[in-house]
Homo-oligomer: A and B are copies of this chain.
Amino acid sequence: MSGESDKTEKMTAALRKAGIRVTRQRIALLGVLADADDHPDAVELHARARAVEPSVSLATVYRTLSVLQEQGVVHRHAFEGGGARFETTHEDHHDHILDVDTGEVIEFQSDIIERVQDEIARELGYEVVHHRLELYCRKKR
């Protein structure tokens, strides 16, 4: 309900520049994405977008998420179990810890791991295009 206009404006400006039409449905979804601090799936995003703009179909959510992904605005994650989950792209790269009991997602980042990955790939004659690192964890008691 608050600081979303900032992010949303940046996003829509970027879209216009890319020749992509800014529709009611897309504005709704962008707002929802800007407000989200979790990692919702398409159905959840659909529900949230509908609360703002009832005329958003699930198909459009998927289509728009694809567009936004191509534009680099959102990231799509295929964690174990269930469907894809999304988050707005933020400046710093990170990987994810998933609480296997609650499904909660925690972000983390490790330069060391990053560096070792590149090194391993290089030694085998490859360069890393992208990677996926997920730690499925349980809370220690």
Contact = CB atoms under 8 A, between A and B. Distances in A.
B136 A133 contact: no
Interface residues of A, number: 32
A57 interface: no
A125 B137 CA distance: 9
A131 B134 contact: yes
Nearest to A81: B78
Number of copies: 2
Given A80-B78, A117-B135, A135-B117, A140 B125 contact: yes
A18 interface: no
A116 interface: yes
A70 to B, nearest CB: 16
A129 B100 contact: yes
Contacts of A106: 124
Interface of A: 78, 80, 97, 99-100, 106, 108, 110, 112-113, 116-117, 120-122, 124-140
